[in-house]
C-alpha cells in the first residue's frame, strides 16, 4: 500500500488515532498521517469551543490556532470584550489560561490589555507581531518609548546605560551618575586615581 508518501504492508496500514485497519481506497490524510472517517471527523471537524461537530464539508468551520471552530464560536474569549467578541479580520491571539480548555482566541484589544507585557514607559501592552519593540532594562518597550530617562532622546538601536531599570544615553549617564575628578570637576572616563576618598583623572592627580 502506498499512502501518505510512504509504503505500507497491507496489515500495517492503520488509522493513526484508533489503530483500526484502513481501506487504501477510503481513508483521510492530515499532516502526513492516515485516519478513518470517524477519527478524521473528530480531529478536524469538532469545534474546539462547543465540542459539537462542524459540517464535514467545512462550510461552517474555521481553522485557526491549530483547532477547528464553528464560525459563530470563533470569537474573543473575554466575556467583557469591548468589541462584542468580534475578531478584526478574523485574526485572534491565542492564550492558554490553564483552565483545561486549551488555547482560546482573544481579540487584539483584550490580549493587549490582559496578557501582553506592559511597556515600562506608557504602561500599555506590547504585542509582538503588531508593535515594534525593544527588550531592554528588564522590560519590553514600545520602540518609540525607549528613550533616555534624562533627556528623552530616542535610544532604539543606540548604545545605552541602565540605572534602576531605566535607560540613559552614554553622555546623560556620565553627566548624571559619572564620578567626577576632584581637581577639574570633569566626569572621569577610563582610568581613575583614588586617594583620600576622592577620585582624579590621572593627568590631574598632582601635588
Across residues 114-118, what is the average pLDDT? 97
Average pLDDT across the chain, whole number: 91
Question: Do 98 and 131 have their domain in common?
Answer: no
Question: Do 121 and 151 have their domain in common?
Answer: yes
109 is a domain residue:
yes
More confident residue, 51 or 75: 75
Across residues 65-84, what is the average pLDDT? 94
Q: For residue range 183-199, what is the model confidence (pLDDT) as tens digits?
A: 988 888 888 899 988 99
Q: What is the 3-state secondary structure (H, E, C) of 69-133?
A: EECCCCCCCCCCCCCCCCCHHHCCEEEECCCCCCEEEECHHHHHHHCCCECCCCCCECCCCCCCE
Position of cell 504585542? 127
Enclosing domain of residue 124: 117-168
Question: Do 103 and 136 have their domain in common?
Answer: no
Query: What percent of the chain clears pLDDT 70, i.e. is strictly above it?
Result: 99
207 is a domain residue:
no
What pLDDT sits at residue 116?
A: 97
User: Can you give the pTM of this predicted structure?
Assistant: 0.67
CB 53 within 8 A of CB 45: yes
CB 43 within 8 A of CB 61: no
CATH number at residue 121: 2.10.110.10
196 is a domain residue:
no
173 is a domain residue:
no
Across residues 85-113, what is the average pLDDT? 95
Question: Do 159 and 127 have their domain in common?
Answer: yes
Question: Do 132 and 97 have their domain in common?
Answer: no
What pLDDT sits at residue 155?
A: 97
Q: Does the pLDDT value for residue 79 go beyond 80?
A: yes
What pLDDT sits at residue 142?
A: 98
Question: Do 105 and 124 have their domain in common?
Answer: no
3-state helix, strand, coil in the chain (%, to 5): 15, 30, 55
What pLDDT sits at residue 136?
A: 97
Query: What percent of the chain clears pLDDT 90, i.e. is strictly above it?
Result: 56
What pLDDT sits at residue 48?
A: 93
162 is a domain residue:
yes
CA dist 34 and 23 (Å) reads 10
Q: What's 39's DSSP letter? A: H
140 is a domain residue:
yes
Question: Do 159 and 124 have their domain in common?
Answer: yes
101 is a domain residue:
yes
More confident residue, 109 or 32: 109
The H or E element containing residue 172 is helix 170-177
Give SS3 for 169. Answer: coil
Q: For residue range 6-62, what is the model confidence (pLDDT) as tens digits?
A: 888 888 899 988 888 888 888 888 878 888 888 887 777 789 999 888 876 767 889
CA dist 174 and 158 (Å) reads 16
Question: Do 84 and 124 have their domain in common?
Answer: no
Nearest Cα to 76, choosing from 94, 61, 62, 58? 94
Question: Do 137 and 108 have their domain in common?
Answer: no
Question: Do 108 and 122 have their domain in common?
Answer: no
Total domains, the chain: 2
Q: Does the pLDDT value for residue 109 go beyond 90?
A: yes
65 is a domain residue:
no
Question: Do 79 and 110 have their domain in common?
Answer: yes
What pLDDT sits at residue 22?
A: 87
Amino acid at each position: 500500500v502506498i499512502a501518505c508518501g510512504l509504503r505500507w504492508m497491507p496489515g500495517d496500514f492503520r488509522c493513526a488515532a484508533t489503530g483500526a485497519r484502513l481501506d487504501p481506497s477510503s481513508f483521510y490524510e492530515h499532516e502526513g498521517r492516515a485516519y478513518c472517517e470517524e477519527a478524521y471527523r473528530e480531529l478536524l471537524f469538532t469545534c474546539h469551543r462547543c465540542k459539537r461537530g462542524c459540517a464535514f464539508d467545512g462550510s461552517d468551520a474555521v481553522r485557526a490556532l491549530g483547532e477547528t471552530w464553528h464560525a459563530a464560536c470563533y470569537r474573543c474569549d473575554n466575556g467583557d470584550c469591548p468589541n462584542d467578541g468580534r475578531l478584526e479580520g478574523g485574526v485572534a491571539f491565542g492564550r492558554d489560561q490553564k483552565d483545561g480548555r486549551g488555547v482560546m482566541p482573544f481579540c487584539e484589544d483584550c490580549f493587549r490589555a490582559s496578557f501582553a507585557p506592559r511597556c515600562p514607559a506608557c504602561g500599555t501592552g506590547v504585542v509582538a507581531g503588531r508593535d515594534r519593540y525593544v527588550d531592554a532594562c528588564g522590560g519590553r518597550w514600545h520602540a518609540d518609548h525607549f528613550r533616555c530617562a534624562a533627556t528623552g532622546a530616542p535610544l532604539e538601536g543606540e548604545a545605552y546605560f541602565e540605572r534602576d531599570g531605566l535607560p540613559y544615553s552614554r553622555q546623560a549617564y556620565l553627566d548624571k551618575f559619572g564620578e567626577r575628578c576632584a581637581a577639574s570637576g570633569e566626569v572621569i572616563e577610563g582610568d581613575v586615581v583614588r586617594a583620600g576618598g576622592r577620585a582624579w583623572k590621572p593627568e590631574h592627580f598632582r601635588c
